[in-house]
Structure 1
Amino acid sequence: MKQDSTRTTSYTVDCEDYVHVVKFNPFDSGDSCSLIAYGGNNYVVVGTCRFQEEDAEVEGMQYKTLRTFHHGIRVDAIAWSPETRLDAIPPQIRFCTAASDRKLRLFTSDLEDKNEFKTFDGHSDYINDLVFAPNEGQEIASVSDDHTCRVWDLEGNEKAHFVLRSPGMSVCWHPEEAFKLMVAEKNGTIRFYDLITQQAILSLECEQTPLMSADWCLKNTLKIGAVAGSDWLIWDITRSSYPQDKRPVHIDRARLFRSDSYYSKATIKN
């Protein structure tokens, strides 16, 4: 597929550190702005973005840094908690990171005096993805090259442990059913787990590798999307364990797939 080499960035924010990962808050944070976090070699920066498309008084994009959190080691992944609220008194910022030392770090801040973090230790290899439970944010799931998916409470206690057949590349909670977890494995398998019984309940096969990322369709959770190799794939889990649609998306290998209502997107691996 031919790439459009004429596209340029719409907005740019200057950063003092290298940027390894960027994550918008997918939850309602109680303000008209969008919360964003980006992680580098030593820091996580949390800020807000206001876009002209959402606020007519803004020209282009307006960015404001809320706080810089010392991390001390390279940030590889970031997940936002649904408990994050800017309209609370005091406001609450909560997010979790995965780092190159194979540990998770949970940060909680009121953007003033309270700035805490806890370290979760358990994975024995590179952590590829992590996510908060979407309803109350009281649990975090993570997947790793150590062939495990682990579920933690907010104190760092391991609540569930699933052994995978290959590196876990992405993990996401069902948008509506909090007891269902989906894990994409590098070997081309997407597996669904019941967190109550702690058993696998369904699997999908993409028949190509490496499978890098998968996500639920937010408008129809019976549909699953993923990227493997340079293709994106779509499943209807009521019809078959094999994809109903597959198309090339990038010349180079695709890295990330995310669903946004009816619109889906994939990004090239750096």
Structure 2
Amino acid sequence: MTNTSAMPTARKRAKRARTRRVNDQPSLKVSTLHANDIDLLPGTESLICPDCDTWVPITGVWGRHPKLVPHHSERAGTPDAVRCENGSLRSVELDLKLSEWQHRLGEAITANAARRRTPVRRKPKTPPTPATSQVVPTPISADMVRRAFRAHRAECKACQGTVTDRDGIVLACPDGLRLAGTYLRLLRQEPERRALRVFFEQERERFDRTYEKHSAEVRSAGWATQQKATTGSKHLAKRSGTAVEDLNNQARRRQPGMLSDYRGPCLPLEKPTA
């Protein structure tokens, strides 16, 4: 004979236990639990079982031995129910008053409400470093070298003449001498550089004028070609000519008794007889 009994499922948790038996586990102190894991309101006393992490009612709250009711580790209706052996009938020590629990719960709610998510601060996007072939060198001018020489001399003691050797001879600064020599060389080359800049500017202006003139000639030639093509196609639009279209486009006012412009020798004027 086949056993047709239904598969055991987790039962609904009762509000109170019908046995005086107590679990061998040590008593569970309510004060050691988090305020959000406890409910001490009258009539709904319950807490989260530390073994199966589910809400379990507390029975015998007004008696001498409060304890957790027997329960399964899953929700009611779950197949293959497993009994929570460590949490069922475990004694509970209610060492926390209702007012104290409400105070803790209020502090926890306030702390959670004051939390804010960390704002996402995205790093600025740095442009990629150009390749060596793309780096455009900055031309050095005499004014730039002069400012660099003054800044160097303001900080260099050798250039100020305060550094001497054992014989009392003032030591020269190689960096200062190099900057001074570069400045003098750029001053000598400045007229030639200025003339080159003027020459390149004139060449650029000449190139721009030539380019604009050539562009104007190309545009004029294009317009002339287009106009010639349009004019030639006017006489070749139709084999019979464009006289009728010209008359239509004139839109002249018709005088009374004036014959039609479209009357021809082959146009029948009489109504055909049957």
TM-score for both structures, normalised by structure 2: 0.16
Answer 1 or 2: which has greater helix percent: 2
TM-score for both structures, normalised by structure 1: 0.16
Determine which structure has greater relative contact order: mean sequence separation of CA pairs < 8 Å that are 6+ residues apart, divided by chain length. 2
- Bigger Rg, which one: 2
